[in-house]
Amino acid sequence: MDIQLSIQRLTKRYKTGEGVSDISLDVRKGELVTLLGPSGCGKTTVLRSIGGFLEPDSGDILIEGKSVLKLPPEKRPTSMVFQSYNLWPHMTVFENLAFGLKIRKTPKAEMRQAIEEALQLVRLPGAEKKYPSELSGGQQQRVAVARSLLLKPAVLLLDEPFSALDAKLRHEMREELREIQANTGLTMVFVTHDQEEALSISDRIVVMNQGRMEQIASPQHIYDEPNTLFVAQFIGKMNFLKGVVDAGQVRLDDMLLPNPKGLAGNVSLAVRPEDVMLHEAEGQGLAGTIKQVMILGHYAEVSVDLQGRETIRAFRPRDQVKHLHPGQEVKVTFGKSIAYPEQ
């Protein structure tokens, strides 16, 4: 297993008290790892420390087995794509892309070929003579990505690169980034606060909270098995209900659920909306009343008021909700649930 980037016990604290403490993470060659979390959780601090824009208080950062801590940003084998495109407005696309290669004294013929190939890769062939003002936001961000790719970094760093784009463009750019990564085998560290973005493009996700890593796992694992209540709250939509452990099982009213973690006392039960099952009022389960049925394309979101409890949401296939209507009495069961100690 080739470790391309190794962050070892990285700590960086600001006067405000924010920052990160004791962060350790190995990123494999060709892997796309996303740092995900709310604003102020420390993800950009980690990224800027890798790129050399911040000096850590302690710890080490190794790229291809060598420490880069003493190197300035321009001497590190990294390249960064920022949220703002940072293109020179008075230069053509070609001149913007050639800038870094000229500093590296790349021969002209080699430079021209490399720029052509990079523009092909980001689907902007023939854009060399255009100025940034003649390009859309999405095209400018593609040029910014191409500029970073041309530097052939050992690790490509991306700091919320698509957040300024509209939803459709963001979706397209994610797909293209994944394709570029597949074609180049580049190692990437991506920062976002958008969980859908993280789930769709990552090989692994690092969920961060208040300067600590809460969980590192594949998108599927983080979605299915959130380690902590914070991860359960942050990733995807989730229902939360209060329960209590009784004779080794989690009790919700007269419903008993498994307790594989062996918890005791009061618990918070997390249930994904797709795991909420609705049954006839005479059946088994928690008693509830349908509050609303919303058709959202191929599936429907059904809000159910549980008697004496909170309102929960269920996602059901559209053809399964034709007979449901507001005010209807139902019984609710769960296909899967996860219990956490109550906080």
Q: Which CATH class is domain 3-231?
A: alpha beta
Average pLDDT, the chain: 90
Least confident range from 33-47, 51-65, 103-117, 180-194: namely: 103-117
**Is residue 168 predicted with pLDDT exceeding 90?**
no
Helix (H, G, I), strand (E, B) or coil at 45: helix
> pLDDT per residue over 93-148, tens digit each?
999 998 888 887 888 888 888 898 888 888 888 888 898 899 888 888 888 888 88
Q: Report pLDDT for 1.
A: 60
Lowest mean pLDDT, pick from 7-16, 129-138, 143-152, 161-170: 161-170
Interhelix angle 167-184/108-121, rounded to 10 degrees, is 130
Say which residues have a Cβ less than 8 Å from residue 205's Cβ, sequence separation at least 6: 33, 34, 36, 198, 199, 215, 216, 217, 218, 219, 222
If we measure between CA atoms, which residue out of 203, 206, 232, 201 comes closest to residue 20? 206
Q: Could you tell me which residues are beta bridge partners of residue 213?
A: 208
Predicted pLDDT at 121: 82
Domain boundaries, given as residue ranges, for the chain: 3-231, 237-341
pLDDT at 270: 94
pLDDT at 265 over 70: yes
What is the rounded distance in angstroms from the CA atom of residue 284 to the CA atom of residue 281?
8
Q: Which long-range contacts (CB under 8 A, 24 or more apart) does 247-251 make?
A: 250/337, 250/339
Partners of residue 208 on adjacent β-strands: 213
Average pLDDT rounded to a whole number, residues 242-253: 89
Mean pLDDT calculated for residue range 72-79 = 90
Q: Mind listing the pLDDT tens digit for each residue in 299-336? A: 999 999 998 788 999 999 998 888 899 999 999 999 99
Domains 3-231 and 237-341 share a fold: no
C-alpha closest to that of 56 among 66, 64, 68, 65: 68
Higher-confidence position of 190 and 163: 190
Query: 237-341 belongs to which CATH class?
Result: mainly beta
Name the band, by pLDDT with cuts 50, 70 and 90, for residue 77: very high
pLDDT band of residue 64 (cuts 50, 70, 90) is: very high
Judged by average pLDDT, the poorest of 160-164, 227-231, 262-266 is 160-164
Local confidence band at 343 (pLDDT 50, 70, 90 cut-offs): confident
> In which band, very low, low, confident or very high, does the pLDDT at 62 lie, cut at 50, 70 and 90?
very high
Q: Identify the pLDDT of residue 311.
A: 93
The runs of H, that is alpha helices, within 202-284 are: 219-224, 229-234
